[in-house]
Every structure is written in C-alpha cells, then in structure tokens.
Amino acid sequence: MIISVASGKGGTGKTTVAVALAKAINYCQFIDYDVEAPNADLFLKPDIKHVKKITIRQPYFFTSSGKSFKTCSDFCHYNAVAAIGNDVIFFSELCHGCGGCMLVGPEGLIREKEVVIGEIRKGFCCPGINFLMGDLKPGSMRTTTIQSELEKNIDYDNYVIIDCPPGNSCSMVMAVKCSDFCILVTEPTPFGLNDLVISIDVLNKLKIPFGVIVNRFGIGNDEVINYCQSRNIKILAKIPNDLNIAKYYSQGLSLVDFDPTWQKKFTNIISDIDKEILQK
Amino acid sequence: MKVCISSTGITLDSNVDPRFGRCAYFIIYDTSTDTFEYYKNESRDAMGGAGIKAAQKALENKVDTVISGSIGPNAFKVFQSSQIKIYTGVSGSIRSAIAQLKNNELTQAAVPNVQSHYGMVR
C-alpha cells in the first residue's frame, strides 16, 4: 500500500502529515520525494547507511579538429549546444543527457562523461521506518531523474509513505503516480482552495483515489470544506491552527509527539484508506 | 558595422523588443550601406535556451554588434565568446537605436542585464 502526501500550495503541512503517518504506522518505508528541498529527515532523524551518487551522461566536444558541430546544435531540443564556427559553447544545466548529439555530430569527436546531479540516501529510523530520500544538487534541473532512482527503490510489499514536492507539475506527478491513494493537505484559505482544485484535477486524470486533510483549521474561510462536501470528497482530518504545533515543528518534533491522540487518528485514517482500496 | 537588433516588427519604425531570446523578429542592419534584412525569431517559443539559439543565428549572420532591451547570461556568453559589442537597455524605434549607435550615444554592456528565463514572462 503506497500512500502519497501532496499539496498544490507549499507550506500546508505535507511533511507534518507524512511524518505523523509514518510514525503512526511504525513499520513502513518513508520516501522524501521532494528532492529539490528535502526536509523530512529533520523530523525522522534517520541513521543514513547508504548514499548513492546519481549521475547523467553529458557530452564532451573535441573542438580542435576543425570540424563544425552545427548538426549537434540543430538537433538539441534544449538548446544546450551553441556551435560557433568550429567551436562549441556547452550549457551543462540545459543538457538532458539524451546522447542525441553523439549520434548526429562528427564521428568520434564527441565523448560522454558522467556528471553528478545529486544523490539518494537510505537509512533507518527507530523503530521500524525504512527511510529513503533524494537530494538534487543545487543548480541542476534534473529533478525527475533523481525521483526515478527513488522509484526503483520502492518497497511494494510494505506500507510506503511518499512525501511529495509541492505544486502540481512533473515532479509532483512523478511522486503520486505510483501511489494507491493520495492524501491532499490544504489550508482553508482562497490560495489553499485554488491549488487544491488543481491537485484534484491532476489526481482525477491519473485515476488516483484521494482524500483531503485540512491543516491550520480555524483560519481563513469555509470554502475548502464547502467545496469538498459539495463534491463528496472525503475530509480525512482537520488539524487545528495551534501555535504549539508550530513550536513542536520548529524543534523537529512531530504532530504525534505533540499530541499522542493523533497516533490513533492517523492509524484510523490508514485503516479507512486500506478498506477503501481493498474494496476496489 | 553589421548590427543585430531584437525587434517587435519588420520595419525601421518597429520598436526594439525588450527581450532578446524571445523577441518577435531580428533586424540585421548594415551601417556601411544603410540597408537591412530581417528574419523571424524561430527560437521564440523554445522550451529553454532561446537566447543561446538566437545568438548563434545572429553570429551565423556575421554580425559584430547586438542591440536589445535585455540580454540574459547565456546569450551574453555566446556573444562574448566572439567579441561581439553588446548594447542593452535600449528602447524606442529601430531607426532611433541605429542613430544613437552611430552617434556613440549607447553604452556597451559588460554584464548581462537580466537573469535566465527573463523573457518567458510575457
């Protein structure tokens, strides 16, 4: 059972909910898919046992040959290769590492080299959480390449909690697409609702069942609640807008540390999701 | 001098386009003959690296000077590699930009005046 925790708007409490879920289940795999800004490790404090560097292959051009590399430049959809006379200016951050320039360019004058774009880290958290995270190197745009590497390590036989990146674009799709159920965390504000609606649209297209957790309940207005009720969208929980929760958060503590009754509430949410998925 | 100017249109009364890589047209003006040619900017809708492609095309047209509203770091790097004179922050008509260039009223840019992806916000 794979449960992803996503949110269109950033800062609504994805990691708060994902960490609390993992702690409530206890024996599960936790994956921080927010490789551009991973932070779940601050709360789960994993003992990292294994680090794997993730590389892509990028071209190296031998420009002293006196041959033009214009075919490479014309081919490159991402405009990473500027061919000026017989010289080349290569823009590494634009290169997707497709290898196309090697096929169309002058034979033998382009070699590939490995370039590190980030790493994935594996470890354990007490008592039984298998922890996995991706960390993209600042400046690199290859978010989904790191995420594909995480995907290869999903433990399909166990409960898996996926902490998604914010937003509704490629990196969010990568994070939710393997899940059996998605928990959308939102806040009851116009901004929260606007981005929730977009997330719901994405999940419907991907045919992934979902429920909503309203965080910071008490601020804003009733529109999120009304929207969900009018469309029969299940509200799994409402987390109150409590300054003490923020205080715990800032100390690297989880919602279940703050108030142990959340342990039970999240266990119930999981069993409800279990039932819903198994009925299908 | 052969000058590449990012332009909103195809005549000398068109305005200097504020964006280099994602401008509508390029006007190539030859100051020795006071004649010009134009071409459509094919990299306008590129996913990324529009400035790089546009700069390469300008170099293929053997320009030695470039005028635009703004040029980002990647196009700037391509032009610098060929010692092209770069003038940014220019606005108004193409005609007035050429006049200013001839009267030495423009100041050469030493660094890019906008960040990457500047021209993507339309």
What is the residue extent of each domain of chain A? Answer: 2-54+127-279, 63-108
Question: Are both A2-54+127-279 and A63-108 of the same fold?
Answer: no
Contact A79 B82 (CB under 8 A): no
Q: Cβ distance A91 to A101 under 8 Å?
A: no
Contacts of B59 in chain A (CB under 8 A): 84
Q: Cβ distance A108 to A64 under 8 Å?
A: no
pLDDT in tens, A78-97: 999 999 999 999 998 888 88
- pTM score over 0.90: no
Chain B's closest residue to A84, CA to CA, is B56
Quote the tokens at residue A42. 């601050």
- Cα R_g (chain A), whole angstroms: 22
Nearest CA among A137, A108, A138 for reference residue A120 = A137
Contacts of A61 in chain B (CB under 8 A): none
Query: Which runs of E-coded beta strand occur in B19-113?
Result: 25-30, 35-40, 65-67, 85-87
Mean pLDDT to the nearest integer, A32-58: 96
Rounded to 5°, angle at Cα A36 from A52 and A135: 15
For A2-54+127-279, which CATH class? Answer: alpha beta
Interface ipTM > 0.95: no
- CA atoms of A149 and A174, how far apart (whole Å): 11
Q: What is the mean pLDDT of chain B?
A: 93
The sign of the CA dihedral B73, B75, B80, B81 is positive
Contact A89 B52 (CB under 8 A): yes
Q: How close does chain A come to B45, measured CA to CA in Å? A: 11
Helical H segments across A70-127, by residue range: 70-75, 100-104
Q: What is the mean pLDDT of chain A?
A: 94
Mean pLDDT to the nearest integer, A8-12: 95
DSSP A129-151: EEEEEEEEPTT---HHHHHHHHH
Identify the pLDDT of residue A102. Answer: 94
> Letter for the amino acid at A187?
E
Q: How close does chain A come to B61, measured CA to CA in Å? A: 11
Residue in A76, A77, A79 nearest the CB of B50: A79
- Residue A187's CB is within 10 A of a number of other CB atoms, namely 23
Residue in B46, B48, B55 nearest the CB of A82: B55
- Residue A22's CB is within 10 A of a number of other CB atoms, namely 31
Q: What percent of chain A has pLDDT over 70?
A: 100
Question: Which H or E run contains A279?
Answer: helix A261-279
Identify the pLDDT of residue B121. Answer: 60
Residue in B48, B55, B81 nearest the CB of A94: B48
Q: What percent of chain B has pLDDT over 90?
A: 86
List strands edge to edge, sheet with A2-6: A47-61, A110-125, A128-136, A27-32, A160-163, A2-6, A181-186, A210-217, A235-240
Mean pLDDT to the nearest integer, A107-118: 94
Which of A91-95, A169-173, B118-122 bottoms out in mean pLDDT, i.e. has the lowest? B118-122
Residue in B43, B59, B82 nearest the CB of A79: B43
Residue with tokens 């996995």: A132
Residue in A77, A79, A87 nearest the CB of B52: A79
Is the peptide bond between A260 and the residue preceding it cis, with omega within 30 degrees of 0?
no
Using DSSP's 3-state secondary structure scheme, residue A20 falls into helix
Residue A243 has pLDDT above 70, yes or no: yes
Identify the pLDDT of residue B93. Answer: 97
Residue with tokens 């198994």: A278
pLDDT in tens, B47-91: 889 999 999 999 999 999 999 999 999 999 999 999 999 999 999
Q: Residue-wise over A196-231: b if at least 16 C-beta within 10 A, else e?
A: beebbebbeeeebebbbbbbbbeebeeebbebbeee
- CA atoms of A216 and A229, how far apart (whole Å): 18
Cα A262 to Cα A67, A211, A239: the distances in Å are 67, 17, 9
Question: B14 falls in which pLDDT band (50, 70, 90)?
Answer: very high
Q: How close does chain A come to B51, measured CA to CA in Å? A: 9
- CA atoms of A162 and A175, how far apart (whole Å): 7
Question: A150 falls in which pLDDT band (50, 70, 90)?
Answer: very high
- CA atoms of A49 and B98, how far apart (whole Å): 64
Q: How close does chain A come to B78, measured CA to CA in Å? A: 7
Identify the pLDDT of residue A219. Answer: 96
Chain B residues contacting A via beta carbons under 8 Å: 43, 46-50, 52-53, 55-56, 59, 74, 77-78, 81-82
Contact B52 A77 (CB under 8 A): no
Identify the pLDDT of residue B117. Answer: 79
Mean pLDDT to the nearest integer, A253-262: 90
Q: How close does chain A come to B17, measured CA to CA in Å? A: 21
List A58's β-bridge partners, or say none.
A113
CATH code for the part of the protein at A63-108: 3.30.70
Q: Are strands A235-240 and A81-84 parallel, antiparallel or unpaired?
A: unpaired
Nearest CA among A179, A151, A125 for reference residue A54 = A151
